[in-house]
């Protein structure tokens, strides 16, 4: 019996999510992309500022350009799309806000049976610059990460990272 048998669907999704770096090359429905973006925009944000914007990249030439220029995003070759999560640095908590949106994207993908992986742009200036140029991101917006998404061609096993040594009761 898996540990998840006693869990509700939300917890099952959280625990089953793993980074997927191998895709089948199949397409992803547009309605699923909207569902994913709706989940992203449901994330909490400081003062409910929602200081985010999303570039949905489906164009194969652009995906290939990003793949060539981003050393840790080689899995873009068979991704159906990628979402670039961008934030408005005028908002003090933009990184946290956009990270919460990113996690919602990963969980939404998992719940839809799709694979995804967070690949870092911020705070790597060279990677952020490459994404800015390729995706024509205007000054005043910062790309946080790029999330390749697709039909998974691998099944990373669920992991239990729980470590009681990292938990402190009442005081450290
Ligand atoms: C801030 C951040 C940056 C990451 N950057 C990359 C990346 O550039 N390329 C990549 O393949 N994975 C990247 N990852 C994914 C991590 O490697 C992955 O989440 C971690 O190894 C745990 O594995 P899991 O997601 O399967 O649980 C990143 C994750 C985070 C949170």
Q: CA nearest 75: which of 5, 154, 11, 128?
A: 154
pLDDT value for 25: 97
Query: Is the CB–ligand 1 distance for residue 15 below 6 Å?
Result: no
pTM of the full structure:
0.96
- Scan for tokens 């729980």, then name that residue: 162
Residue ranges per structural domain of the chain: 21-153
pLDDT value for 154: 97
pLDDT value for 3: 54
pLDDT value for 1: 35
- Using the mean position of ligand 1's atoms as its centre, give its distance from the Cα of residue 117 in Å: 7
- Using the mean position of ligand 1's atoms as its centre, give its distance from the Cα of residue 32 in Å: 23
pLDDT value for 6: 72
Q: Give pLDDT tens digits along the chain (172 positions).
A: 355 557 999 999 999 999 999 999 999 999 999 999 999 999 999 999 999 999 999 999 999 999 999 999 999 999 999 999 999 999 999 999 999 999 999 999 999 999 999 999 999 999 999 999 999 999 999 999 999 999 999 999 999 999 999 999 999 9
- For ligand 1, atom 15, the nearest C-alpha belongs to 118
Q: CA nearest 47: which of 89, 97, 4, 95?
A: 97
- Using the mean position of ligand 1's atoms as its centre, give its distance from the Cα of residue 18 in Å: 9
pLDDT value for 5: 57
Query: Is the CB–ligand 1 distance for residue 119 below 6 Å?
Result: yes
pLDDT value for 32: 98
Q: Which CATH number fits domain 21-153: 3.40.109.10, 3.30.1360.120, 3.40.50.300, 3.30.70.20?
A: 3.40.109.10
């Amino acid at each position: 019996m898996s540990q998840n048998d006693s869990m509700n669907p939300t917890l099952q999704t959280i625990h089953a999510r793993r980074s997927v770096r191998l895709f089948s090359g199949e397409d992803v429905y547009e309605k699923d992309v909207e569902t994913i973006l709706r989940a992203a925009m449901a994330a909490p944000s400081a003062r409910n500022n929602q200081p985010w914007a999303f570039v949905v990249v489906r164009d194969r030439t652009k995906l290939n350009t990003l793949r060539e220029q981003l050393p840790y995003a080689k899995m873009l070759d068979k991704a159906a799309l990628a979402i670039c999560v961008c934030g408005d640095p005028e908002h003090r908590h933009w990184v946290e806000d956009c990270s919460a949106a990113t996690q919602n994207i990963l969980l939404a993908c998992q719940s839809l049976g799709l694979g995804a992986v967070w690949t870092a742009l911020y705070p790597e200036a060279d990677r952020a610059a490459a994404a800015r140029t390729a995706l024509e991101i205007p000054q005043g917006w910062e790309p946080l990460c790029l999330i390749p998404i697709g039909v998974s061609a691998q099944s990373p096993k669920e992991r239990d990272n729980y470590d009681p040594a990292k938990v402190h009761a009442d005081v450290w």
